[in-house]
Structure 1
Amino acid sequence: MLAAERREHLLGLLARTGKIVAKEVAAELGISEDSVRRDLRELAAEGLCQRVYGGALPASPAVVDYDARQSVAPDGKRKVASVAAGLVRPGGSVILDGGTTALAVARALPRDLDCTVITHSPTIAAALLEHPGAELFLLGGRVFKHSAVTCGAVAVEAAQNVSADLCLLGVTGVHPEAGLTTGDAEEAAMKRALAARAADTYVLASSEKIGTASQYRVLGWEKVSGLITDADPRDAVVERVGELGVEVLAAG
């Protein structure tokens, strides 16, 4: 089989099954695992898959920069945000992660809601300035411009000194086996620090993130209370997440 044919086969397999197991593909095609891994490296370099141990998973489309992400699945993000905003109770406290879905959550919060919002996102802080009932805490640190959030050692230390009832966490990849992932190591560390300071963590994930993976792991499913998504509840990935004991809130 020619290299171009192998490439099309791998992409087709990824689309049909949601994963590639290098050992299985090598046996099926009668080629070496090294050849499969080389093909996967090339596909990953083009952003067409995310390599993982033993093979590959679909790459998340949500790893582009902040401005570009605002045009990705805006309707799905609004649906997810509407459900997420409903989890913030009067008098309650919420850690609101950065990103475009979290920004949609901020905009969905009732203007007269009395609550405490802790965030490391300057854009979310600005969006809440006209919410008179919202007590607002902005965690400082180095600004990661790709996602318009603070991160790094200073921001992580600041996060360790707060606590909240709820954390609404954004990620770029949601997969039953790979867990919750994102595209930057320091951002992943900051997300872990935020989630650790809340009684419950709910993941914000519009449908394009379901079944995909990015390079850096944020959390395993055992650390998560729920997933909020507009993906079809009958989607195989969504069902598998539910089987792991995670509450799935439909945002259809």
Structure 2
Amino acid sequence: MLASQRKKAILELLAQDKQVLSSELSQKFLISEDSIRRDLRELAAEGLLQRVHGGALPASAAIAPIETRKNVQSRSKQTVAAKAVKMIQPGQVVMIDGGTTAHELVARIPQDIAFTVVTHSPGIAVSLVDHPLVEVIVIGGRLFKHSVVTVGSAMIDVISHINADLFFMGVTGIHASAGFTTGDYEEACVKRALSQRAAETVVMASAEKMNAASAFAIGPLSLASTIIIDGEPDTALREACAKQQIELL
């Protein structure tokens, strides 16, 4: 079998099983694991998969610049945001992540609800200027232009003084075994720190983020109390959430 044919077959298996293992691929194609690892490296370089220890997972399509992401699965993001906004109650302290789904959430916040928003997204903060009853606290830091959010170690001390009711967290990938991932190391650290300061973490995920992974782990599925998705989760994700008592909406 030619290398190009083998790579095509690997991608087909990945689409079917949502993960591949180097050892199993080696046995299937009767070649060394070194050769399989080379195939996976080359496919990863093309953005077609995400390498992990022992194999590979589907690559997330949600790591493009924010202006590009605005047009990806927009209807799916609107569906997720419409469910998420119903969780906000008067008087709560709510942390809202950056990202396109978070912007859809903020666009649906009623004008007559009084609560406090904590965010490290300048865009989210500005979107709430015309909500007279919403108190807005902005966490500063270095601006990560790709996602238009602030990041950096100085933020962690500020975050440690917050006790929030909810944290609406954006991710680029959700996978039963890889958990929640994103495309930047510092952004992953900030998301993890925010999650640790909320009574409940709600992960909002449009369709392209399901059964996908990016390079940096935010944490396991157990970080979330609720995951809101558009569409039906596969058996592996549903079973993983049920085992850890995570609500799927």
Say whether the fold is shared (TM-score over 0.5).
yes
TM-score of the pair, normalised by structure 1:
0.96
Q: Deviations over 1:65-114 (max 9, x none)?
A: 11111111111111111111111101111010111111111111111110
Q: Summarize the Cα distance change of 1:101–1:140 in structure 2 as closer, same or farther, 3 Å threshold.
A: same
What's the counterpart of residue 240 of structure 1? 239
What's the counterpart of residue 207 of structure 1? 207
The Cα of 1:224 is off from its aligned counterpart by 1.6
State the secondary structure of the residue aligned to 1:62: coil
State the secondary structure of the residue aligned to 1:203: strand
2:44 is equivalent to residue 44 of structure 1? yes
Equivalent residues of 2:221, 2:241 under 8 A apart: no
Equivalent residues of 2:122, 2:138 under 8 A apart: yes
State the secondary structure of the residue aligned to 2:88: coil
Aligned residues: 249
4+ residue runs of structure 1 moved beyond 6 angstroms?
none
State the secondary structure of the residue aligned to 1:8: helix
The Cα of 1:17 is off from its aligned counterpart by 1.1
**Separation in structure 1 between the aligned mates of residue 64 and residue 235 of structure 2, nearest angstrom:** 26
**Separation in structure 1 between the aligned mates of residue 236 and residue 212 of structure 2, nearest angstrom:** 10
**Separation in structure 2 between the aligned mates of residue 42 and residue 156 of structure 1, nearest angstrom:** 37
TM-score of the pair, normalised by structure 2:
0.97
Q: Summarize the Cα distance change of 1:105–1:246 in structure 2 as closer, same or farther, 3 Å threshold.
A: farther
Equivalent residues of 2:97, 2:121 under 8 A apart: yes
Identity of aligned residues (%): 46
Equivalent residues of 1:116, 1:135 under 8 A apart: yes
- Matched letter for residue 170 of structure 2: G
**Separation in structure 2 between the aligned mates of residue 169 and residue 112 of structure 1, nearest angstrom:** 24
User: 5+ unaligned residues in a row in structure 2: which ranges?
Assistant: none
What's the counterpart of residue 231 of structure 1? 231
State the secondary structure of the residue aligned to 1:228: strand
Equivalent residues of 1:211, 1:237 under 8 A apart: no
**Separation in structure 1 between the aligned mates of residue 236 and residue 90 of structure 2, nearest angstrom:** 33
2:75 is equivalent to residue 72 of structure 1? no
What's the counterpart of residue 148 of structure 1? 148
After the TM superposition, which residues 21-36 of structure 1 pair with which residues of structure 2 at under 5 Å, given as runs?
21-36=21-36
What's the counterpart of residue 132 of structure 2? 132
User: 5+ unaligned residues in a row in structure 1: which ranges?
Assistant: none
* Aligned CA-pair RMSD: 1.1
Equivalent residues of 1:97, 1:121 under 8 A apart: yes
State the secondary structure of the residue aligned to 2:222: helix
